[in-house]
Amino acid sequence: MGGCESEKNMDRRRVDRGDSLRCWYRGWFAGEPTYHGKTVTQWLDGMALFEEERNSELTGQNSFRYPRSPEVVTNDPALRALLLIGSNTVPVLVKRLAEPFQWSRTIGPMSRLRMWAEWKWYRLRNPGSTAPRPAPNSYGSFQRARHMAAAMALVALGTNGNAGVPRLLEAWAISPPDAANNRDVSPYFALEVANSGLPHRRAEMITGVMTAMQHTNAVIRSAAANLTRAFPDQLSSWKEKLLKMTGDADTSVRIAATWALATEDRGDSDVLRLLEATLKDKANPARLRAYAASGLGLQGATATNSLPLLQEALNDTNRALNNDDRFLQRETRTAIRNIEKATAGDKAITPK
C-alpha cells in the first residue's frame, strides 16, 4: 500500500510540475495575440520549417537544407496561423528577434545553479571581485530557430503588413551581438527559405535589400550586404553597390560586402584584384584581411598567382598576435591549402 501511495504522490507531483510549467509559459507570453489558443511565440516555437535547427543541439545533427518549395512553406500550420493573425504579430516578432541571449537547452537548471554557486563562492572568497554573474553569451539552436521563424513571418507578411525586409533588418540591428561583435545570422537563412518558398514576395525582398544597402545605420548596411548572398542570381543588380561598400567607413560593412563578392562572384577578375588589394594593405583591420584571404581561397586555381601574397601575410608576425591576427593566419593557411589543392587538380585534368 505504502509503495502504491508513494507512486501516486510522485505522479501527482509530476502533473503539478507540468501544470506549473505550462502556466509559466502562458504567463510569460501573456498579452500576445493568439490563434486557436496559442500565442504568437508558441506558434514561432512550433514552426515545422525550422524543426531540425530547433533540435540540433539535442540531436547533434544538423543537415538542414534551407530551400523549400512554395507548397511546403505555405502549408506550414504555424506560418499560416501567424499570417491569419496578421499585422498584430509584428510587435511580437520584432521583440523576439531582439530578445537577449537565452540559455541553451543543453545547459539545464542544475548546471546553471552550479555555475551560480561557483560564482557566488568566488565572490565571497575574493571581496571586491568584478567577475560577472554567469549568463548566456550566444544563441542556442532553439533560439536561432525562433529567430528564423520570426524572420520568415515578417517577410511573409510583407511591407503592406508593416513588416517585410525593412522591419526585419530594424529588429536585427537592435539584437545583441556576441562576444566577437557578431549578430545572429538566422535572418539570412530565413531569406534563403523565403526566396524559394515565397515567390510572390521575392521582388519585394530584393527591393528591401537594395534599399537597405544605403541605410544610414551601418549595422543594417552590413546585414543587407550579407543578405545579397541569399539571391545569387541578382548579383548583376548590386555588384557595383557591393564594390562601393568595400570602401565603407565601417569595418563590418566592408567585411560583409567583401565576403558577399567573394562568395557570389568567384573567379571574377575585379573581385580577385579587390581581395588581393585588401589582403596586401596592412593598414586594414586584421579581421577584414582574414576575410579577403578566405575569399582568395574560394577562387581556386584562378588565385594561383595570389599564393606569394598569402604567404607574405602568413609570415607577417612582427607584432604580438591578438585574436584577429590569429584568425587572419588561420584563414590564410586554409586559403593556401585550398588554392594549392585546386591548382594540383587543375593540372591533373589539363591535357599536355
Q: For the segment 72-88, what is each residue's pLDDT rounded down to a tens digit?
A: 999 999 999 999 999 99
Query: Which residue has 546553471 as its cell numbers?
Result: 112
Radius of gyration of the chain (CA): 24
- 34: three-class secondary structure by DSSP: strand
Residue 193: inside a domain: no
Residue 247: inside a domain: no
173, three cell numbers: 540591428
- 38: three-class secondary structure by DSSP: strand
Residue 270: inside a domain: yes
The pLDDT, as a whole number, for residue 29 is: 57
Residue 331: inside a domain: yes
Residue 46: inside a domain: no
Q: Tell me: the pLDDT tens digits for 116-144?
A: 899 889 888 888 888 888 888 888 889 99
Residue 327: inside a domain: yes
Residue 288: inside a domain: yes
The pLDDT, as a whole number, for residue 55 is: 84
- 7: three-class secondary structure by DSSP: helix
Entry pTM: 0.81
Measured CA to CA, the distance from residue 257 to residue 222 in angstroms comes to 7
Q: Work out the average pLDDT over 2-10.
A: 49
Contacts of 201 (CB under 8 A, 6+ apart): 155, 156, 158, 164, 194
* Positive or negative torsion for Cα 88, 105, 152, 258: positive
Measured CA to CA, the distance from residue 171 to residue 186 in angstroms comes to 12
Measured CA to CA, the distance from residue 341 to residue 352 in angstroms comes to 19
Amino acid symbol at 36: H
Q: Tell me: the pLDDT tens digits for 198-213?
A: 999 999 999 999 999 9
Structural contact between residues 78 and 47, judged by C-beta atoms closer than 8 angstroms: yes
Residue 344: inside a domain: yes
Measured CA to CA, the distance from residue 142 to residue 47 in angstroms comes to 11
Contacts of 133 (CB under 8 A, 6+ apart): 116, 119
Q: How many domains does the chain have?
A: 1
225, 160, 78, 184 alpha-carbon torsion, rounded to 10°: 20
Domain of 344, in residue numbers: 266-352
347, three cell numbers: 593540372
Measured CA to CA, the distance from residue 270 to residue 302 in angstroms comes to 12
Angle between helices 141-157 and 186-197 (to 10 degrees): 40
